[in-house]
Every structure is written in C-alpha cells, then in structure tokens.
Amino acid sequence: MAGMGMLGLVAYIQYQASQGAAYAVDLFGKAKDAASGAATGVFEGAGGIFGQIGKGWDKTKEDVGGIKVEMPQWMRDIYEGKTQREEGGSGGSGGPNEPKQAGGGAVGAGAATAGAFALGSDGEEDDRTPTEAARDDQMMLLTRKMIEIRSLLQTIGQSESLTLPSIVVVGSQSSGKSSVLEAIVGHEFLPKGSNMVTRRPIELTLVNTPKAQAEYGEFLALGFGKITDFSQIQKTLTDLNLAVPETDCVSDDPIQLRIYSPNVPDLSLIDLPGYIQVEAFDQPTELKAKIQDLCDKYIQPPNVILAISAADVDLANSTALRASRRVDPRGERTIGVVTKMDLVDPIRGAQILADRNYPLRLGYVGVVCKVPRETKSVFSRGSANITSLITKNESAYFSAHPETYGPDSQVTVGTSNLRKKLMHVLEATMSASLATTSEAIHQELAEATYEFKVQYNERSLSAESYLAESLDAFKHSFRAFSDTFGRKEVRDIVKQELDQQVLNLLAQRYWNRPVENLRPVDQLAEGPQEHIENLPKADPENPLWHLKLDASTSTLTKLGIGRLATSITAQALQESVQNLVQGSTFSSHPFAIQAITQASTNILRDLSYDTSDELEICVKPYKYRVEVSQDEWRRGRDNITEVLKSELKDCDVATKAVEDQLGGKRRAKDVLSFIDRVRKGEVILDGNTDAGAGGFSAALLSKGREALFLRDRSDILRLRLAAVKSRQCSNPANKYHCPEVFLDAVADKLTSTADLFLDAELLSKFYYQFPRMLEQQFRNLDEGTVQRFAREDPKIRRHLDVVKRKELLEHVLKEMEGLRELEKREVRRSGRGQVEEVGRKRKGWGLF
C-alpha cells in the first residue's frame, strides 16, 4: 500500500508539473497539496518540462522519506541542458584533434545507439563509457516502444488527447530544413524543387534496426511494401505532394513514411511546408497564412518544436523562432537548430548559438548539413548513405575552429549531437505525456466498453467472423431449402408448364374451327372464330381425327422437353437462391449478392448443357409411340379436369376485369352484342372504324373484342369440361373424342421422366457443388475485400468500429504495461534499484 501511495504521488507530481493544471484531485486526495505545491514552485522557477521534472524531482526526494534517491544521470543531464556536451564529448565532438576514449562503447552494450548516433561513421568515434552506452540503448528501446504506441494511437484516431508527442520541424524556405532531416536519416529522400514541393505534412517515423543491414522506407497507407531505393522514396514523396493542386498549394492531410535503418535513431518527426515571406505571383494569395495555420496546428503542446534557422540570416528575423515563441514563449519545448554555420564567421556563429534574446531550455545546436559538392553527384543518386560524408565535412569545419567550437566552448554543434538531443528530448517528452495519454486511453476504453456492452450485448465481431457466420447461415438456409425442393417440386413446375403447352395445343388444333369453315368477317371480328356450336364433332372413323391427335402428341413430345424442363427447373433454383439471399444477411451486401448469383448461374449453366441433352435422349421413345394405360388415363382425366376448371376460373376473372373496364356488365353486353351482330353480318360497317362505330369508341370496341374472345374461350372451356367429365371420356378407347385427356396423359409421362432425371442430374449436382463453390469464393478473399464486404452494412460497420477501437485501446494499454515492465526490469538489472526505479516512475508512470 505504501509503495502504491508513493507511486501515485510521484505520478501526480509529474502530471501536475508537465501539465500545469489542477487535475486528479480526488484520485490522490492528500497528496494533492504537496504535489501542487511542487508544481507551483516549478512554474515560478526554472520552467520547462525538464525544469519541472527537476523541481518535481527534488520534491519527490523529500517525499519518499528515508530512501536515498537520486535523479538518473541522463535525466539530470537533460534537465541541466548539457546532454550533448557530457555524453558525446565536447561541442565539436568527434573532431579529429579531440581525445578519444580507447575502445569506445560500441561493442555489445550501446551498439544499437552507436549507429543511430552516427558514431563510428567517419570523423566520429564512440567515446561513451559502457554504462553510458547501455543506458543510451535502453533509452532508445523505450523510445521505440513509445513510438510504437504513438503509431498505434494514430490508428485509433482523431482525439487529441489520444496521442503522444512528436518532434515538429519548422523553418523558412531554404533555411536548410530538408538538409537537416536528410542528415539525420543519412539519405537524400525529401522532395526538391523550386515550385514549393512540400505541400503536405510528412509524418516521418525512424526505426532503428541495429541488427539489420538494409535501409528502406515504407509508406504505410499506400501498401507499396519496402522501398530500398531512396530516390524512389523521394519520387513518391514528390508525387504525393504535387497531388495537392497548385490552387490549394498546401493540405493538412499527412503523408506517413517510416524509415528503417541501423543508422537512424528511433524518432518521430513531422516535416512541414517551409514558411514563406511573400507569395509568388503564381501562388494563391492566402498561401502564407495557410502555411502558418498548418504549422500552428502542429507546434502546439506537447509536441517538441525543432525550429530551423540559417546562420546567415539574423535570428531575430527567423520565422521559425518567431512562430515558436508565439506558442512556447518561455522556450520550454523548442530546440533551435542553426544551419549553414559554415557561412558565418566562427565568432559570430558562437554568438548566434548563445542567443540570449530567445533563450531555449533545450538549447541551440549549430550544424553544417551540406553534402560536399564534389561527392554529391556520386552519392545523391540511389541509396548510398551520406551520413559519414556530412559528418566528416561538418567535423572538419568545426574542428578547424577549436577556440569557438572546441571542447571548452559553451555551444553545442554537430548533427550527431543533434540526433542525441532529439532522442533524449523525445523520450523525456513522451514519458512526460504518458500519464495523461494513459488516462485518456482509459476513458476512451471505458466509453467503448460501455457502448460494446449496451449496444452490442458484448457480442464480439470481426470482419472475418461476420463473413464466416453469414456464409454458414446462408449455407444452412440453402441446405434447408434443398430438403424442401426435390423431385416432387420439379414435377409440379414441369407439369404445370406442360399443362399450359397442352392447353395451347388444344386451342390451336381442336377448339378453333378449321379455317375453311370460317365465314368472312370484317376487321372487327378478327380473332375468335365461329361460335362453338359450329365446331366439328369428332369422328373416330375419319383418319383426319387420327392425324390430328398424332400430330398434337408429336408436337408435345418434340417440344424440346429436355431444354424446356431443364431451363424452368434451373430458373426455379436460381429464383430460390435469390430469395434465400434476400432473406439472409447477405441481402445488404451487393458484393455478396453478385458473387452468389454468379456462382449459381455458372453452375446451373454448366449443368444445364449436359442435362438437357441427356433428358432429350431419355424422352426419345415417346416421340414414336405413346401407350396410355387405363390408370394413366384416369389420372390424366382427373388432372385435365382440374386444369380446365382452373383455366375457366382464370378466364372468368379476366372477363370480369374487362367488363369493368368497359363500364360494367350492362355496357359490356351492349358492346358485345353490337360486335356479335357485325360478325353475323347483321350490321355492315362502312370502312374505317378508327373513330369507332355504332355509337362506341374505337377503344371501347377494342376492349369489346377482348371480352368476346374471353367469352368464347369460357364457353368452349365449359363445353370441353363437360365432355371430359362425360362417360365417353372415361374410356381410353375414346381418345379421339377426348384429346384433352390423352394429351394430359402424354404430358404426365414426359414429366415423370423429366423429374426423375432432373432430380438426379441437376438438383443433386447443384446441391453438392453450390455450397462448395461459395466456400471457395468466400473463404479465399483477401483481408481488404473481407473488410470492405463487412463494412458495406452500416450496422455492421458501427459494430466493427466499436470492437476494433476497444481492442486497439486494450492493446495500447497492454503495450504501455509492457513498457512499464520493461523499464522496471531494466532498472533492476542495472543494479541501481530504487534509485532509478523511482526516477522512472517519477516521469509519470503512476497513473496507469
């Protein structure tokens, strides 16, 4: 409990100190007064993050009572503003005439940072003690972890409190901004050109890979993979920047680039468009203000500002320092970088770096980042590392002026010192922000968890699981459907289709009078022919009637039953699949609908070719001879009776509809009797009836003809129904009198062959292949497609977002916990026990 209390206290002091705001009073109760006292003192005193850490530290020492605690050296160094001088040697460290520690510390411990600090490159040697080198490595490890956490937070999103600080690089155009960044990275990779080529923020994450040889970049959002050719990175950056139209000139949409190398420190930097003094004639008039606004957005706390100014321009005129002063008036989180030191006299150079006008807590660093002209052409192209060239050139310059830039001077110079400073500052700043960030993450997590619970009943979901579940459910419903759609159902739809064909045949061959018997009629009477009482009577002795029935049977059997039955069954299957889709979760996913439809269409099409041909062969015998048994005749008679009844019913319904359109039964009767009289020749029409006739409009007469057709059809159906029901039609021997029954029996035989065959060849195969095809299509989708698919449904999209957010937040918290563990372990290993441990906790761990 005592330990926990101390931890909380330490964290609280840190929190107060770094935020300068009253907060978490209730959380820490008694600790509040002491802590805020410490913070208040801090603001009045040294100021700045590290000043605050320092004062807070004194307080911590008092509060932990009997334990002997000391601020870790590295932290003290930053606090005292002399990191570079003590750790990296003098300001001109690495210069050829400076004393070096034999052996260096770059073997084993410190190896990781040696490359990152550019130690070992020409002109620089590692003169750190093994302990210092190990500590640097440890610091870098922690920074890397924090940068990872920062990147994770970036994927979570927008909220400003959910972020860790970064180093923001600002400077006027041509101040040497790009040269500094390239010196840190060791490669020329930034866009170059006169027409304002940096138009978007570039969020640059440097990842130290001590064990790897390769150096490469990655544009995460673009998914291009590793790019080892830095000129290619430069080209891509140029393209991405120039994609912003000239009319806008700048955009705040950042480009995210990661660079992996054994020669870079772990850093998170943001490069911004250079400040301009005035707009060129071809630039938008508000460009200057736009750039300023964009930079202002990024230089807000807790970010560290890397303000770049050129030595040959008066610092008082430095736009970068002016901007920084506006948001950081006490110079607490700004590092001043003065470039082009070689262009000014050393005395003047030293004066600039010791600037008292705008004193910076984190100091000024003078650099010479120019790559020597003679070597530039060789190294600038391709992927050669330019670190050693720059360092050599820079060291040669500074060590040529030992009186101003030598070990005893008060100024800090050199890109390798700048690298170290950046790392230390970033690590300390990130650490200082961890507590607040952690608090914000906890809060966000609580909200996400609540939403997850209340809205989604804690039902976990991923795009993959959603797809898998949807597919399983669909397959399940398909299986259920396949149990209900078998031979019987195929039989029903095929028979229904053949019934219709039989009705058509009957109408064509039996129910209409032979053409030669038709009395000439005028154009109004076309369509239905003579009245039914004039229809010829069947005469079994007359070969004409034999021929009629044989021809009708032949038409039926040679209908192309194979194709017809296969296609209507396939169509029914296709429609059923569509219905299943509509009733499934896939219904709100156009992609899935298309994929499923495609799958069923393809399978059915492939199966249909063979099936229809083979079925046609199966029904071939019926094309020559059809025997109908007594039993089949009886079934046919029953069935056709029902068919005729149903047809009659449909006909009556249609008649009623037309009568209504004619204006009721009476009016319909008038129209019909007029047309009847015309047909019988009682009324002679004179020529054109476009304008109507007999007091009826043309439209009315046209409707009347429809009604007449339906009336005749209805009459004949009634007549034939009576015939089929008659005793005469109960005997198959009277088939010439009862073609309806005979043709139905034939249709029935055809149907029985078709349903058996289609069940075995089309249905079974389709039921087997379709789910497998779906499985193949849906299980092999790439991650992007699965995500796109799931996110098509807004409800699922929201659900996925909540789950993802929650998982990411939990993951970040776990990572933070890991960071804390890592640090504790390292502290224990370093053997400094409580001293360092408390020191670390002091930096803001307690709150999470």
Ligand X SMILES: Nc1nc2c(ncn2[C@@H]2O[C@H](COP(=O)(O)OP(=O)(O)OP(=O)(O)O)[C@@H](O)[C@H]2O)c(=O)[nH]1
Least Å distance between CB 109 and ligand X?
A: 33
Phi and psi of 337, rounded to 5°? -115, 125
Least Å distance between CB 198 and ligand X?
A: 6
Least Å distance between CB 402 and ligand X?
A: 19
Question: Residue 238, SS3?
Answer: helix
168 forms beta bridges with 270, 305
The string of DSSP letters for 509-523 reads: IIISPPGGGPPP--G
Beta-carbon neighbour count of residue 46 at 10 Å?
Answer: 17
Residue showing tokens 């040696």: 114
Q: Which is nearer to ligand X, 272 or 467 (CB)?
A: 272
Least Å distance between CB 419 and ligand X?
A: 16
Q: Which is nearer to ligand X, 97 or 174 (CB)?
A: 174
Phi and psi of 101, rounded to 5°? -80, 130
206 forms beta bridges with 259, 267
Q: Which is nearer to ligand X, 343 or 468 (CB)?
A: 343
Q: Which is nearer to ligand X, 176 or 336 (CB)?
A: 176
Residue showing tokens 């069954």: 569
Least Å distance between CB 181 and ligand X?
A: 8
Kindly state the DSSP code that residue 121 receives in the 8-state scheme. S
Q: Which is nearer to ligand X, 175 or 385 (CB)?
A: 175
Least Å distance between CB 201 and ligand X?
A: 14
Least Å distance between CB 319 and ligand X?
A: 11
Q: Which is nearer to ligand X, 174 or 582 (CB)?
A: 174
Question: Residue 364, SS3?
Answer: strand
The full 3-state SS of 134-180, as one line of letters, equals: HHHHHHHHHHHHHHHHHHHHHHHCCCCCCCCCCEEEEEECCCCHHHH
Per DSSP, the chain holds a count of helices (H) and strands (E) of 30, 9
User: Is residue 254 within 8 Å of 166, Cβ to Cβ?
Assistant: no
Euclidean distance between CA atoms 354 and 357, whole angstroms: 9
Euclidean distance between CA atoms 698 and 684, whole angstroms: 16
Question: Residue 122, SS3?
Answer: coil
Distances (CA, A) of 504 to 310, 383, 501, 658: 97, 82, 5, 22
577 Cβ contact list (under 8 Å, min separation 6): 478, 596, 597, 600, 770
Residue 553's nearest CA partner among 282, 756, 293, 735 is: 735
Least Å distance between CB 408 and ligand X?
A: 24
Q: Which is nearer to ligand X, 289 or 547 (CB)?
A: 289
Q: Which is nearer to ligand X, 202 or 754 (CB)?
A: 202
Q: Which is nearer to ligand X, 338 or 498 (CB)?
A: 338
Q: Residue 203: enclosing H or E segment and its boundaries?
A: strand 202-208
Euclidean distance between CA atoms 537 and 513, whole angstroms: 11
167-171 and 304-310 as β-strands: parallel, antiparallel, unpaired?
parallel
Q: Which is nearer to ligand X, 308 or 710 (CB)?
A: 308
Residue 573's nearest CA partner among 767, 417, 833 is: 767
Euclidean distance between CA atoms 453 and 476, whole angstroms: 29
The string of DSSP letters for 5-53 reads: HHHHHHHHHHHHHHH-S---HHHHTTHHHHHHHHHHHHHHTT-SHHHHH
- Which residues contact ligand X by CB under 6 A? 171, 173-179, 198, 274, 339-340, 342-343, 368-370
Residue 169's nearest CA partner among 381, 417, 426, 355 is: 426
Give me 409's structure tokens.
């001077």
Q: Which is nearer to ligand X, 198 or 334 (CB)?
A: 198
Q: Which is nearer to ligand X, 70 or 279 (CB)?
A: 279
Burial of residue 747 (CB within 10 Å: 0-12, 13-18, 19+) is buried
Least Å distance between CB 171 and ligand X?
A: 5
Least Å distance between CB 264 and ligand X?
A: 18
Q: Which is nearer to ligand X, 188 or 761 (CB)?
A: 188
Euclidean distance between CA atoms 227 and 528, whole angstroms: 81
Question: Residue 358, SS3?
Answer: coil
Least Å distance between CB 376 and ligand X?
A: 9
In the sheet that 364-366 helps form, which strands lie side by side, from edge to edge?
Answer: 216-219, 255-261, 202-208, 267-271, 167-171, 304-310, 334-339, 364-366, 412-413
Least Å distance between CB 406 and ligand X?
A: 19
Least Å distance between CB 268 and ligand X?
A: 19
**Amino acid at the residue 228:** T
Least Å distance between CB 368 and ligand X?
A: 4
Least Å distance between CB 256 and ligand X?
A: 20
Q: Which is nearer to ligand X, 198 or 751 (CB)?
A: 198
Distances (CA, A) of 2 to 5, 8, 14, 33, 186: 5, 10, 18, 18, 49
Report CA 597 to chain centroid distance, whole Å.
24
Q: Which is nearer to ligand X, 197 or 723 (CB)?
A: 197
Q: Which is nearer to ligand X, 418 or 493 (CB)?
A: 418
Residue showing tokens 């690590």: 427
Least Å distance between CB 258 and ligand X?
A: 21
Least Å distance between CB 176 and ligand X?
A: 4
Least Å distance between CB 251 and ligand X?
A: 16
Q: Which is nearer to ligand X, 94 or 302 (CB)?
A: 94
Residue 586's nearest CA partner among 461, 479, 469 is: 469
Q: Which is nearer to ligand X, 272 or 707 (CB)?
A: 272
